[in-house]
Amino acid sequence: MTMGVPMSTTNSLTADDLGSAAQRERRKRILDATYDLARDGGFDAVQMRAVADSAEVALGTLYRYFPSKIHLLVSALAREFERNEALFRKMEIPGDTAAERVIFVMKRTTRGLQGDPKLTEALTRAFMFADASVATEIHTVGMLLTSMLTRAMHPDDDHEPTDQDVAIARVIGDVWLSALVAWVTGRSTAAETGAHMETAVGLLLRD
Amino acid sequence: MTMGVPMSTTNSLTADDLGSAAQRERRKRILDATYDLARDGGFDAVQMRAVADSAEVALGTLYRYFPSKIHLLVSALAREFERNEALFRKMEIPGDTAAERVIFVMKRTTRGLQGDPKLTEALTRAFMFADASVATEIHTVGMLLTSMLTRAMHPDDDHEPTDQDVAIARVIGDVWLSALVAWVTGRSTAAETGAHMETAVGLLLRD
DNA sequence: GCCATAATAGGAACACGTTCTACGTCGTGC
DNA sequence: GCACGACGTAGAACGTGTTCCTATTATGGC
């Protein structure tokens, strides 16, 4: 698996290589359809034929844009994270300590997810099931999460986070993901999820 | 979904309700076949027809013992964890500090897993994909992991771990799971996985 | 031993992710 | 205009997880 420059023809269309307006439009329709189906019925309801029908593209076209159901769902997740991260980037994050601000960000994000449990289930499942071929999309999500957390730790834009900041952010991200998986799969309640995250942040960010 | 006493008839056979010797034997053959197929070819190679053939049971029988591929693989994982936990329970865990002993346990376990990458991929994938219907098996695995870690923190058998111990153990477990997923799905190397876990343990167990 | 019932074998059938084939359409260089 | 190649449509086909059905075989109570 080489890491060369992606070919712009004959390959699946990525977020970067957007193609024509018609292609951008198709891509959006597909992601919207995915989002709607996932919100209403979760992972199982996102059936490739249903997505294709709902987005009014042929099955083969769907597969040209997203080479698998997992790519499709992780791309939808990345789009949601981008929206979320943009929101936090624009707002002032409340809290006097790093721990408080981080907890604010996580709770806010988690609450958003828990408001759409089926959607969250679909996106989380896809994320956990993704293999190396989805590395690009996964990496996008990971960067956005780390960036959100380090910004919450240091709201002053002007310096880069330290290695320790990034390490802490990654651990928090890990805990968050595990908690999300436990919640999504019905193994813990929303309240337990929140409490566990608070505990973890408390352990990691004792000033 | 009630939580009543499981019916012993007409339901799938659990680890507790072992049934006759012939049934225990079948269950073992099935798990052994699963193990072998997973070790050689990973998640995709564990095909229900192949497991049934290899274990010399009919497909319907396989489904009577394990209601889905995920149940099957998570049960295999639980068996492996039980073996692993028993090993640690018998041995003296080296290291002067809690952090050193925890890292020893994690590295030893991780090394074992990384020695059989395909097997690990299969088991981890199944674990991450499991839903609420696999809660029992998942819980078994979680308890074993927490128990291994708290024992490493406090090698003296005779007192129960504190809440804080359990909280730390759970966070470490989360990090470990995330790292395993990243490794299994080809998103990080074995070395990165080890380093990340050491960092996390260092952050959580600074004495 | 014999019967009732549960368990198993064997395999067809179905669902959904994925691939493939055949054909139509659009847009670009000439 | 028009030929050509990339793109799109429609849908068949295939693989594997899961369900279902029927006949056969164990098993346990009498």
Tens of pLDDT, residue by residue over A157-171, are 667 889 999 999 999
Say if B94 is an interface residue toward chain A (CB within 8 Å): no
User: B186: nearest CA in chain A?
Assistant: A132
Q: What are the chain A neighbours of B186 within 8 Å (beta carbons)? A: 131-132, 135
Model confidence at A48: pLDDT above 50 = yes
Q: What is the mean pLDDT of residues A136-156?
A: 89
pLDDT score for B23: 84
Q: Which long-range contacts (CB under 8 A, 24 or more apart) does A104-112 make?
A: A104/A152, A105/A148, A105/A149, A105/A152, A106/A149, A106/A172, A106/A176, A106/A197, A106/A201, A107/A194, A107/A197, A109/A84, A109/A148, A110/A176, A110/A180, A110/A190, A110/A193, A110/A194, A110/A197, A112/A84
Q: Taking the CA atoms of chain A, what radius of gyration do you get in angstroms?
A: 18
Q: What is the pLDDT of residues B4-37, one digit of tens each?
A: 333 333 344 554 556 777 888 999 999 999 999 9
User: At a CB cut-off of 8 Å and minimum separation 6, what does A117 contact?
Assistant: A42, A184
The answer to whether A171 contacts B131, with C-beta atoms less than 8 Å apart, is no
Taking C1' of C16 and every protein CA, the nearest residue is A47
For residue A60, how many other CB atoms are within 10 A of its CB?
Answer: 8
Q: pTM of the full predicted structure?
A: 0.86
The answer to whether B174 contacts A174, with C-beta atoms less than 8 Å apart, is yes
Model confidence at A98: pLDDT above 70 = yes
Could you give the dihedral angle defined by the CA atoms of residues B189, B204, A205 and A140, in that order, rounded to the nearest 10 degrees?
10
Q: Cα separations (Å) of B159 from B99, B151, B155, B162?
A: 19, 10, 10, 9
- Average the pLDDT over each of A138-147, B17-26, B83-92, B187-196 and give the range with the smallest value: B17-26
Model confidence at A9: pLDDT above 70 = no
Q: Report the alpha-carbon distance of residue B74 to residue B69 in Å, rounded.
A: 9
Say if A204 is an interface residue toward chain B (CB within 8 Å): yes
Nearest to A193 by CA among A131, A141, A124: A124
Could you give the dihedral angle defined by the CA atoms of residues A27, A30, A35 and A41, in that order, rounded to the nearest 10 degrees?
-160
Q: What is the mean pLDDT of residues B183-199?
A: 89
pLDDT score for A114: 86
